[in-house]
Chains A and B, each alone.
Chain A
């Protein structure tokens, strides 16, 4: 199904906790699990781990910064570090739904999607800050000229600004307020943001250099997976309908 369905349905059921994870059964007089690693606790632990792993790219940049180990061209190291983190996190976020479709046992991955998406936006902000501060020296006129004149900056800025409303509406409260259908429609903007991000990458490399090819292929597969799945579902229900008839 389409993105956000699990969350949207959960909201409709007025019980946002019932994702595909079992809650421990508690009988009368029982302590809640004691020291056992319950599914709930495992999930919380995993969330902490993923959170820390997502912070690693920034952590490494900061650490290397203090060590004076950002390489001969540190501004480029920072730009590449934040840019790749943004793109890769976007791609990982987009991979969750196809993975859940393929393996229903991994449905709980949905619980990580918001964190990953927000981290993608976080690194996008750092990447933008690198441009605003280190490349433009906070000169507004330079930046306005750049956005209108340089297509790679225009498309990069577009990719970032499309993530902005998604970050703002990432809470359960937003899903409730917008309703599942509208929320899902809005968050489809992530497809355009990711495409803009990859185009931004193509438009900055030198002619003849093909380094963006890998992530382009990965993104293409993940985007194609969605209509492919919808088609498959449509065929299955058509087959079921014709069986009944």
Chain B
């Protein structure tokens, strides 16, 4: 009846997962109780859960990503403290069974449920605003994408309390992940959580390729798009190219595990090497899916905070598309040590280091963007400068790892661990924090507190280097990754310094939380009245803050690069806004619960497949399919925003802009 599921699936005798699970259940129950008590359900249901507004979905993605970041960081604290304690004979506090789940969960969550939702959150929130349109190409599909991603994250957290998580690392290499060596449900939790969220991500990719190619406002030719939109296009193209590989690979591994097939087994014609090739054919481009939009965020920040257009815009576009294509040709560098032969290794070594050309060009273009500018060191700019320093060094160690004979002695070492954290934290996470500060006013109508933001930056920056410099050194001393305990006592000192680095980073995390709370408390003082808090250059700053759900009262007409900068300069020069447009009713897509329903049934299906409860899996699939049928036969697709409402919102915006113009004129006169 219930497949492999029984009461013994709950870790009654293991205090850490049991307590974490209980605290989690209490926290969720408490939140749901509060919502019920305060009668927030109708608001949440109508305004958020069923919303197809790209900005709301973007914000929910970012919230999900922050939750993932917190969970993944908790795992990181456990890993660093365990290794610092379990050195030279110590055993630490985590058994191998538990520790191996912790590092597997850390990697899986940080990539799939922290970095991805955050990046996709920014893609969602920013892209339609920058393109001057009202929503993405497929708003309801966008909602389905989000809820499927959330479903995956839910399944991973269920594994804390019911069963176990994978003990095979964030990429489950067979035969270790096969049913013989991993008979538990851990790998199944991994497979179905990633599978369900991966389908969501693929739909996001389709959505954004279509949005960027087909949904731009009049005059917004491809080469007039802000560079962030280019990176979104490049990233989405990679998603569409490689996520099907992930889906197929995980499906094949599931078939091996459940039905005893032989795609990746070592016998009967299967081949584990094939899994490594396929998973990295997805896995390496995945890194660029994350980092290209991050480069886009930095481009926006460098340009805005230098008061100048981006230097070498076309060169940047070329570098972005160059990376987009070459990223698909480098996967083999993840296993140079498999013995592929010198010709193959050399070819992939060169293709890997060639990517550094595109990245190098970008770095120089950002530097020359600051040249001749008036650089303001706001919080987003601090993250960007910290990024240049950190990422250049991470890129350098990356090229070292791309040299096969050098990789032969640092592959899978702590040097490698330090390298990929160096580029993913220094590149992606720094960008996300910069973007959070930069676009927060556009989402909520008030800025984040600068002082706490500066403090958060410095603690994160120092914490990062304090954590990972020792790991580089340990890698050079021969320490390999994923050790539950460390037999060589000489490494104790470096491991302790690294743990101290995590403590410093924790202070940075606390600063971020305080920043958020202080900003909410002081939201009147930090209010963004004009809608253009950073003297921005692209169209999102033409809207009021927070942006209305229809984004633009009248679709903008773009006449050059840096669309909003042109409008703003004209207004300042002529000392007046353009004439009031003729308002018309706006057609917007109706909200739909189909995303939520589908994901709810997908979660049930995933859980049932993990525990092999076949009837429940069938029921879940049927439910998800029924949701789509009901959605496809809906009668009302759109609703109209009345012209009075449009005019009211836009006149308020124009008033704020008039005030801004007068202030600029007064400043000009006094200077």
| Chains A and B bind each other | no
